[in-house]
Structure 1
Amino acid sequence: MNHHDVQAVSPLTLAWVHRQLAAGERIVGTEVLHGGITADVRRLTVATRDGGTRDLVLRSFVDPFSVERAEDWLRREAGALTLLVGTGVTAPGLVAVDPTAAYCEYPSLLMTHLAGRTVLEDEGLETRVPLLARQLVAIHAVRPSERPREYEALTTADTVVVPKGADAAAWAAAIDVIRRPAPRYEGRFLHRDFQPGNVLFHVPSDTPSNVPVDAPPASTAGARITGVVDWAAASWGPADLDVAHCSTNLALLHGAAWGQRFTEAYEEAGGVLAAAASERLYWQVRDPLACSEEVRPVARAWRDVGRAELTTRAVEERLDAYVTALMAALG
């Protein structure tokens, strides 16, 4: 039993979690799950009556900016997790939610734990990209009986932060694109933060526990997706937005060409995007321009999970390369 870790969860929150457990169960340990930006996420190990254990995940919004928005985010996430049951899209199961911190110290959501891990290294990317694309097509195929709220744009032409040394002409042209009215679109159920950090994989060749942690990562050939997490921004809007978001993250993690490859993979998997080049460009540049406003926390989150080379400057350079490539291809 890791008493120190359990005590790291506030007494109010711990008491709330205990009320969600079956009779005779108790929390015996916790582990911080790294990689997120907006929430504190912990895996809770629960001892069961039969002598075994099971895992739950506690997601709490603790910083003032997130607490202010937590009620909306947690209600949306709880609604999405409920909606996805039986759809074929694997997501955590909802256990309980306290969106206003009526019982917990901070607004919190308790859910089941999914097997698998995020995979952010370069090796095996050519295998994972088609899997990501097929998973996103499956998400967009979900038809909710009640539509979630409309998507949020997340940026404006006046809030874009042009990286130092960026291609000024390309960025000015991209910013002009999002000054236009949004194109008409056929709505789809969106994850709205679909990217490699929110997709879990089972990798057959994962490093055994007796191999040093600094050993080179194993190949991800034969990998499969075990689930998709972080549904707090689930919404309704154009499929292009989810595709653009994943493309941007792939471009920043692995290089501009991979961002453009994901768009191709999505269509190869049966996904449908805007027909006109001007409409595609509108949605595709909107996301990297939005990312310009949060490069520092994004880069820090990736370094925390092992991508030490992704300094803020390195991510800025990749973002510039991606925006420039988009404008050259479609602008």
Structure 2
Amino acid sequence: MTKHDEAATVRPLTRAWVSGHLEAGERITRVEALRGGITAETRRLTVGRRAGSARSLVLRSFVSPYAVERADDWLGREAGALTQLAGTGVAAPDLVAVDPTAAHCEYPSLLMTHLAGRTVLADEGVETRVRLLARQLVAIHAVRPAERPPAYGTLTTADSVVVPRGADPAAWAAAIDVIRRPPPPYEGCFLHRDFQPGNVLFDMSPARPAAARITGVVDWAAASWGPADLDVAHCSTNLALLHGPAWGTRFAEAYEEAGGMLAADAGERLYWRVRDGLAVSEEVRQVTQPWWEAGRTDLTPRVVEERLADYVAAVMAGPG
């Protein structure tokens, strides 16, 4: 069996579990591996009906030891977020079923509806997409869930930061000193916690980039309660690495233009922006892999390291 065949196969126990959540007369007729994720195997399942019509579902399974160990938390967060988002106006998949401890499947898995659209990572049309991303994030932060998700978490410390080659040593030393401080106080809101272009689906025509619209937001496995600044900082960092450092600053501006509220104090805004940028320093290759697979072969780890170095230096040099 080739790797392609393996990727497009649903394991027997998982297939039986999925089939148990289909409607009467439905069966899986096609399996397609979806690219772009770091932590999970993701497949699109075409489900055929007796009348000849079909619909699509998405199956996410955590298979690496690292992900399996955390699947109960991650899939619990995702299932909870999808349930809370139903009927809010935020375009997210509908939850079909979840098996966070692999009680029925070979690996922890989640089954959800499939959303139309595709991720767009090209430089062309980025100005339009930045405005759409900002409006979408404002809508996410406006959600008032009946039950709050768990509080946000961060792992990066001053000692775990990896300073890129060629980075401005003074700027990076100052940035590392910023995250030695305790987190500033904040008014919490509903966070996606991995909101960035790779997790947003667009409907757009290459001939009419200005007519683009967002069709959905996916990968809610890190949904949290915390400061809006943290989601904004994360998307800012990703945009800076994808399209150049200036786009990180532009996204924060677009978020406020769309009605979003960031910390009033410049030092507090600086803390969250720096913390997210430094966090990426530890996992540059992981971050760039799905971008490379999606066709952005210009974004080598070295190019991304250079952009990250410049972005953090720019954040430290400019207003928070």
The answer to whether 1:233 aligns with 2:234 is no
- Distance in 2 (alpha carbons) for counterparts of 1:251 and 1:226: 23
CA contact (8 A) 1:91 1:227 kept: yes
CA contact (8 A) 1:139 1:190 kept: yes
Q: Which residue of 2 aligns with 1:256?
A: 245
Stretch deviating more after TM superposition (33-42 or 238-247): 33-42
Deviation of 1:204 (Å): 3.5
- Within a 5 Å distance, the mapping from 1:21-40 to structure 2 comes to 21-40=22-41
CA contact (8 A) 2:8 2:33 kept: no
**May I ask how many residue pairs the two structures share in their alignment?**
317
Deviation of 1:154 (Å): 3.0
Query: Helix, strand or coil: the match of 1:293?
Result: coil
Deviation of 1:299 (Å): 1.0
Query: Helix, strand or coil: the match of 2:121?
Result: coil
Deviation of 1:7 (Å): 6.7
What per-residue deviation string (whole Å, max 9, x for no partner) do you get for residues 177-211 of structure 1? 000011000001000000000000011447xxxxx
- Within a 5 Å distance, the mapping from 1:1-331 to structure 2 comes to 8-205=9-206, 219-330=208-319
- Distance in 2 (alpha carbons) for counterparts of 1:245 and 1:11: 38
Q: Which amino acid aligns with 2:287?
A: V
Query: Helix, strand or coil: the match of 1:220?
Result: strand
- Distance in 2 (alpha carbons) for counterparts of 1:222 and 1:130: 12
Deviation of 1:53 (Å): 1.1
- Distance in 2 (alpha carbons) for counterparts of 1:50 and 1:131: 38
Query: Helix, strand or coil: the match of 1:222?
Result: strand
- Distance in 2 (alpha carbons) for counterparts of 1:49 and 1:143: 40
What per-residue deviation string (whole Å, max 9, x for no partner) do you get for residues 247-286 of structure 1? 0000000000001000000000000001111111001111
Stretch deviating more after TM superposition (221-230 or 152-161): 152-161
CA contact (8 A) 1:5 1:30 kept: no
Query: Helix, strand or coil: the match of 2:57?
Result: strand
- Distance in 2 (alpha carbons) for counterparts of 1:7 and 1:315: 31
Q: Which amino acid aligns with 1:123?
A: E
Q: Which amino acid aligns with 1:125?
A: V
Q: TM-score, normalised by structure 2?
A: 0.96
- Distance in 1 (alpha carbons) for counterparts of 2:147 and 2:113: 24
| Alpha-carbon distance change, 318 to 103 in structure 1, aligned in 2, over 3 angstroms | same
- Distance in 2 (alpha carbons) for counterparts of 1:304 and 1:6: 15
| Alpha-carbon distance change, 32 to 274 in structure 1, aligned in 2, over 3 angstroms | same
Query: Helix, strand or coil: the match of 2:128?
Result: helix
Query: Helix, strand or coil: the match of 1:36?
Result: coil
Unpaired runs of at least 5, structure 2: none
Deviation of 1:5 (Å): 6.8
Aligned-residue RMSD, C-alpha: 1.4
Displaced runs of 4 or more, over 6 A: none
CA contact (8 A) 1:94 1:110 kept: yes
- Distance in 1 (alpha carbons) for counterparts of 2:293 and 2:269: 33
Q: Which residue of 2 aligns with 1:211?
A: none
CA contact (8 A) 1:5 1:29 kept: no
Q: Which amino acid aligns with 2:90?
A: V
Q: Which amino acid aligns with 2:201?
A: L
Unpaired runs of at least 5, structure 1: 207-218
